[in-house]
Structure 1
C-alpha cells in the first residue's frame, strides 16, 4: 500500500473521529439508532442543544439541533433525538419548560395514539406562559388595587385631617420639649440616683463575695460530714438502744413475775392489806397516845411498886379491832430534885 493511500485513509478516519466527537460534545450520537422527531416553538429562550428531553421525569432523549424559520414568523424548529423504544404518536405533546435556575428542557406527554410515528414526524408542541407573563398577570390587578387604595387615602386626608395631623405633631413636639426640660431640672436627682445605683451595685458585689465564701464553707462542711465516721456512731447508738430495750424488757418481766420479790411486792394483796392494817394501827396508837399519855407514861414522886394496867387496842387486817387490858409492873421512880 502506497504512502498516499495510507495518508488518505488516516485523513478520512481523523475527519470521521472529529465529526463524531463534535456531535458527541454537542449531545448527539451519530452512531446511535435513536429516532429523530421535530417540534416547532415560537421562541426558545434558554434552550440549548443537548438539553434533556424527559418523560415522567426520566431522560429519554436530548435536543439534537435548533433551526430558525424566517418564513414562518421566525419560529424555531427543534430536532428531538429520542430512544427507539419510546412510542410517539399523534397524541404526544412536547412541552417547553424550565426550572427556577434558568435551564430549560422539553417534557413529553403521551396519550392514546391513533397513529404511531416511526421518526421524522412533527410532534405537537405546548408553550406554557413564562414566569414573567404570570407575574405580570398577577401583579397588574394588585397594582390597580393599590392605586385605588391610595386614591381613597388621599381623599380621606383632606384639609381638616391635615390640620389635625399638624396639631398632633405640634403637641408631640411640645411634649418632647417639656420632657427635655424636666430632665434638665432633675439632672441633680438623676445623678444622685445613678450614684446610689452604683453604690448598690458595689455592695451587691461585696455580698456576692461573702455568699461565695459561705458556699465554700458549706461545701467544706458537707465534705467533713461526708468524711465523718457517722456509720460507726449510728451502729453504737443502735447497740445502746438494743441494750436499753433488753433491760426494759427484763425489768418488765421481773415486775410481772409473781414469784419474784418485786412481783410479790407489787401483786400480793395480802401484803398490801397487812401493810395497810399496820399503818392504821400505828395511826390509832399515836392518836391514843396523844389523847391519853398517862396510860403509857407514869411519874411517881415518891416511888412505889404498885401494879398498873394498860389498855391495848389492836386492829386486824380484816378491819376488826380488839381491846385488851394488861397489868404492868412499874419500878420506883426518882423524885424530881427541888
Structure 2
C-alpha cells in the first residue's frame, strides 16, 4: 500500500513530537520508560537540583526527579526515584549532604533496621548534614571572636610596652637598655684587655702548659711505678711490724724485760732516784771541798783522809 505525502508528513510530525517529549523528559532527568519507585521527602530550603544523585552506603541507586515548593507548609518538597530492586524501611532517613568542597548536594538513604518496607509513593523523613563550608564558616566565626580578643590583648600589651619604652625614669626600659649597653661596652673592653694580656703572655702561657703536660707525664709515670709495687706485700710487712711493736709494748706494760722492769718496778725507780741524789750530793761536795778528792804535793806530803761524814781523820 502506497502512502500519500500527507500521511508521511503526519507520521514524521508525530514521531518528531514523540522524540521531542522523550528528549525533553530525558534532559529534565525523567525517563518515560522508567519503572523505578518514587518516594517523597521535604526540607526547610532548597539546596538540590534535578537529577542530583541518591545513594545508600556510598552507592548511587537513584536520582532526584522533582523539586517543588509547598505553599501551605513553606517547605521544599522533593520527589526522588530509586531502583525498584532496593528495599529499605519507611522509617529510614533521607539525609541532605554536600558531595564536596566545590561540588553540589545529594541525598543519602540512611536505612533503619526494621522490616517495615517502604512502598512506592511513601513519604520519608529527612535531615540535613552540615557541610564542610558551613562547618568552616562556624569555626572561622568562633576563631574570629577569639582572634578579636587576642588582638585587643596584644594592643593593650603594645600600649603598655610603648609607655615602658618612653619612660625616662630609672625604672624605665630606656634607662635599662642604656645601662645594659654600658655594661656590654664594659664587657667588650674587658674582653679586649684579656685578649691583649693573652697575647703579651702567650709565651708564658705556652711554657705553663708545657710544664703542666710534663707534670702530667711525671704523674702518669709515677702512677705506673706505683702500679708495679707489690702493695699487698708492703702492707703485710707493715702489719707484721705493727704486731711486733704491739707485742713489745705489751711486754713493757707487763713488766717484762729491762725496759718493762724499769717502767713497772717502783723499787728500781727508788734506787735510781737515791743513786741520783747521792751523785748530786757527791758532786756538790766535790765542788765545795775539792781537796778531799784531789791531792797534789810536790814534796810527797801525804793526802789527808776523811770519814764518811766528811770529818778529817788524824794520823797516829
Please tell me the TM-score bracket, short chain as reference: 0.3 to 0.5
When normalised by structure 1's length, the TM-score is 0.44
Q: What TM-score do you get using the length of structure 2 for normalisation?
A: 0.46
